[in-house]
A = this chain, B = another copy of it.
Amino acid sequence: MPEVHRKLQPIPFTDISFQDDFWSPRIKVNRDVTIPHIYDQCQATGRISAFTLDFQRSLPAPIVLIFGDSDIAKWVEAASFSLADFPDENLQAKVDDVIEKIIHAQQPDGYLNTHFIKGDPAMRWKNLRDWHEMYCAGHLIEAAVAHFHATGSHVMLDALTRYADHIDATFGPEPGKRPGYCGHPEIELALVKLYHATNNPRYLQMATYMVEERGAQPHYYDWEARQRGDDPAKYWAKTYDYCQAHLPVREQTKVVGHAVRAMYLLSAVADLAHEKNDLSLLVTCQRLWENLVSKRMYLTGAIGPSAHNEGFTQDYDLPDETAYAETCATIGVMMWNHRLLQFNGESKYADVIERALYNGFLSSISLTGDQFFYENPLASFGENRRQTWFDCPCCPPNIARTFASLGQYFYSSNADGVWVHQFAQGTAHFDLGGVPIQLRQQTDYPWNGNVRIEIGVDRVTEFGVHIRVPGWCRQWSVKINNLQLDIQPDANGYLVINRDWSPGDCIFYAMEMPIELTWANPAVRALQGRVAFQRGPLVYCLEAADHQDIPLETIALDGRSLTPDVFEAVHEPNLLGGLTIIQGYALALAQEDGADRLYQNAIPKGKKIKITALPYYAWANRNPGAMRVWLPVY
């Protein structure tokens, strides 16, 4: 039987610290602004007081959506992550208060969902397909596990254990239980966490059952609909693709449906491949990953082009301007790839994480930390701006919990050594057979590719340091102390340096980071004849703020002189928190004879103009105006 288990373990975010100018300020803003802001919004919209169970559903305010519990759960998780790194009495008190309210709402049988306790008790567990009950439970479980790890307190964990036990008593393969699973996957990955937090294998079994039963015939959602007196054929989303329940997961060949659901489900599938040592589940992930990455992912790492189903459509359907590209789905991309990365340390998964992290994810929040994008299009010609909140506010707390636990994505370790997946100035602590080791990165990443890694050991210690060669990187060099190494990346895409490390040893890793011009696969019809700028991990865009006299849509690159070396990277320390822009010349197009004519038998005339591209993540932090990643070539 093949060995499927993960060979690597992520170094927990609590053992990572950032001491850089890129992530540290964002994490501080997350702590100082975003987490308090989300608390205030949850309070103002009744998401906290809902747990007192004295709200009126008929009142227009506070608005408590059917999955309102999940929003505050993600806030508790984010706050707990933050507390684990940065103790804060005020935040701790708020968390304690919210948890007290949550526990107060729990019913004697363990059930815990404010909407169905108070708003619609007769409908409890009647519509797993649409009503997010287990989804909310999953987020509460994740919050409880995070709170337990951060504080050592069992109080929320115990409550959620009782809720999980209630769900276990209601659903499952055993006689008298219903073979149900949630339309919005989430609880599956949460139950794996609960299993590890409690060491109770029952929760792993629950997660396994929910993944295995998904898409089986006779279909639970058909049965459940008939029980409600509904015609299953009248399902509003028309097909169970929407919730990845159209087929058993092992038979699925494409990533389909609602993009967040797909990523959460596949995160659990990856977890179970490891936990159960199940190659068929890992192969399923690999197959769907290939489909995602080769045919269904935006350049920014975002996924899901369609607003209609908040998700996937067809292969190669990646329009820029109408991209839905939900923030939560991009976070899901990171979650899933993080799990896949730990199996064998293949750099392709870390590449996807990096792409999503620096682009599709980071674009979702303003530099001020209190405004958010739900959708992250790759072009905008209206007045598209980040919002302070949403009627469906799943994204803001998802962003907050990601920032608060960001370090988890950067390093892994095992008994043989350490993996440097991502680059940022700061420190990682890990333990090698009982020997504490530190890695200290010094770098200005992502502005240049020079990374100094100091090995912090107390005495000479042998282990391997694995350093990722990013997919975008074509030239690099490595020195140890003053010794140039002549090594190539291994089959997994990492430079592997196995040696006896002495205190003070330094690795000098230099990745060349030129400006790159990127073309999409010609099968992507929406991007034909278009080019995007990338530099290192960053996708760039043009923004109206830098091109005030020229309609942004008329700016094209000059196909007669289209090589990266006609553009220049310039660091601007005072612009939008400090960033490297790309400058050069392009064409402002107009009809050849200047006439305001729709069609003519001549290629539009281009006037040479200077252009500035800035990192995509930084757009929409100045005056409202157009933005475009993919530029036409004339």
User: What is the minimal beta-carbon distance from A329 to any residue of chain B, in angstroms?
Assistant: 16
Flag the segment in A262-270, A365-373, A589-597 that touches B. A589-597
Instruction: Decide if A554 is an interface residue (CB 8 Å cutoff).
Output: yes
A590-B522, A591-B522 in contact; A634/B529 too (CB < 8 A)? yes
Beta-carbon contacts under 8 Å, A577-618 to B: 589-591, 596-604
Closest B residue to A530 by beta carbon equals B529
Closest B residue to A381 by beta carbon equals B525
Instruction: Decide if A516 is an interface residue (CB 8 Å cutoff).
Output: yes
Flag the segment in A79-87, A290-298, A399-407 that touches B. A290-298
Instruction: Decide if A155 is an interface residue (CB 8 Å cutoff).
Output: no
Across the interface, do A598 and B522 meet the contact criterion of CB distance under 8 Å? no
Contact of A299 among B525, B551, B599 (CB under 8 A): B599
Across the interface, do A597 and B521 meet the contact criterion of CB distance under 8 Å? yes
Closest B residue to A590 by beta carbon equals B522
Closest B residue to A320 by beta carbon equals B525
Instruction: Decide if A197 is an interface residue (CB 8 Å cutoff).
Output: no
On chain B, the residues within 8 Å of A518 by CB distance are 599-601
On chain B, the residues within 8 Å of A517 by CB distance are 601
Across the interface, do B604 and A519 meet the contact criterion of CB distance under 8 Å? yes
On chain B, the residues within 8 Å of A603 by CB distance are 519
Closest B residue to A603 by beta carbon equals B519
User: What is the minimal beta-carbon distance from A14 to any residue of chain B, in angstroms?
Assistant: 35
Instruction: Decide if A568 is an interface residue (CB 8 Å cutoff).
Output: no
Instruction: Decide if A426 is an interface residue (CB 8 Å cutoff).
Output: no
Across the interface, do B529 and A598 meet the contact criterion of CB distance under 8 Å? no
On chain B, the residues within 8 Å of A600 by CB distance are 518-519, 521
On chain B, the residues within 8 Å of A599 by CB distance are 299, 518-521
On chain B, the residues within 8 Å of A530 by CB distance are 528-529
Across the interface, do A516 and B601 meet the contact criterion of CB distance under 8 Å? yes
Instruction: Decide if A632 is an interface residue (CB 8 Å cutoff).
Output: yes
Instruction: Decide if A523 is an interface residue (CB 8 Å cutoff).
Output: yes
Instruction: Report the Cα distance A318→B553, complex, angstroms.
Output: 14
Contact of A604 among B299, B522, B551, B590 (CB under 8 A): B522
A381-B525, A522-B590, A603-B519 in contact; A597/B553 too (CB < 8 A)? no
User: What is the minimal beta-carbon distance from A600 to any residue of chain B, in angstroms?
Assistant: 6
User: What is the minimal beta-carbon distance from A317 to any residue of chain B, in angstroms?
Assistant: 10
Instruction: Report the Cα distance A528→B526, complex, angstroms.
Output: 10
Across the interface, do A294 and B596 meet the contact criterion of CB distance under 8 Å? yes
Instruction: Decide if A524 is an interface residue (CB 8 Å cutoff).
Output: yes
On chain B, the residues within 8 Å of A591 by CB distance are 521-522
Instruction: Decide if A321 is an interface residue (CB 8 Å cutoff).
Output: yes
Instruction: Decide if A53 is an interface residue (CB 8 Å cutoff).
Output: no
Instruction: Decide if A559 is an interface residue (CB 8 Å cutoff).
Output: yes
Beta-carbon contacts under 8 Å, A7-44 to B: none
Beta-carbon contacts under 8 Å, A497-531 to B: 516-525, 528-530
Instruction: Decide if A496 is an interface residue (CB 8 Å cutoff).
Output: no
User: What is the minimal beta-carbon distance from A128 to any residue of chain B, in angstroms?
Assistant: 33
Instruction: Decide if A633 is an interface residue (CB 8 Å cutoff).
Output: yes
On chain B, the residues within 8 Å of A520 by CB distance are 598-599
On chain B, the residues within 8 Å of A333 by CB distance are none
Contact of A528 among B381, B524, B525, B632 (CB under 8 A): B632
Instruction: Decide if A143 is an interface residue (CB 8 Å cutoff).
Output: no
Instruction: Decide if A556 is an interface residue (CB 8 Å cutoff).
Output: yes
Closest B residue to A551 by beta carbon equals B523
On chain B, the residues within 8 Å of A318 by CB distance are 598
Across the interface, do A521 and B598 meet the contact criterion of CB distance under 8 Å? yes
Across the interface, do A524 and B294 meet the contact criterion of CB distance under 8 Å? no
Instruction: Report the Cα distance A556→B530, complex, angstroms.
Output: 13
On chain B, the residues within 8 Å of A294 by CB distance are 596-598
User: What is the minimal beta-carbon distance from A509 to any residue of chain B, in angstroms?
Assistant: 21
Contact of A524 among B295, B379, B598 (CB under 8 A): B598
Across the interface, do B602 and A529 meet the contact criterion of CB distance under 8 Å? no
Closest B residue to A522 by beta carbon equals B589
On chain B, the residues within 8 Å of A528 by CB distance are 529-530, 553, 556, 632, 634
Across the interface, do A522 and B554 meet the contact criterion of CB distance under 8 Å? yes
Instruction: Report the Cα distance A603→B519, complex, angstroms.
Output: 6
User: What is the minimal beta-carbon distance from A166 to any residue of chain B, in angstroms?
Assistant: 42
Contact of A522 among B293, B295, B299, B553 (CB under 8 A): B553
Closest B residue to A520 by beta carbon equals B599
Contact of A525 among B321, B516, B524, B596 (CB under 8 A): B321
User: What is the minimal beta-carbon distance from A108 to any residue of chain B, in angstroms?
Assistant: 44
User: What is the minimal beta-carbon distance from A375 to any residue of chain B, in angstroms?
Assistant: 18
On chain B, the residues within 8 Å of A523 by CB distance are 551, 553-554
Instruction: Report the Cα distance A37→B38, complex, angstroms.
Output: 63
Instruction: Report the Cα distance A131→B528, complex, angstroms.
Output: 43
**Binary contact track A266-298/B, C-beta < 8 Å → 1, others 0:** 000000000000000000000000000111010
On chain B, the residues within 8 Å of A554 by CB distance are 522-523
Closest B residue to A598 by beta carbon equals B521
**Centre residue among A299, A590, A600 by max chain B CB count within 10 A:** A600
Beta-carbon contacts under 8 Å, A540-578 to B: 551, 553-554, 556, 559
**What 15 new A-B contacts, CB under 8 Å, besides A294-B596, A517-B601, A519-B600?**
A299-B599, A379-B525, A516-B601, A518-B601, A519-B602, A519-B603, A521-B591, A521-B600, A521-B604, A522-B554, A522-B556, A528-B530, A528-B553, A528-B556, A529-B632
**Interface residue ranges, A against B (CB under 8 Å):** 293-295, 297, 299, 318, 321, 379, 381, 516-525, 528-530, 534, 551, 553-554, 556, 559, 589-591, 596-604, 632-634
Leading 9 A-B pairs by shortest Cβ distance: A529-B529, A522-B589, A528-B632, A529-B632, A522-B604, A516-B601, A522-B554, A525-B553, A294-B596
A to B CB contacts below 8 Å, 7 in the list: A294-B598, A381-B525, A521-B597, A521-B599, A522-B554, A523-B554, A529-B634
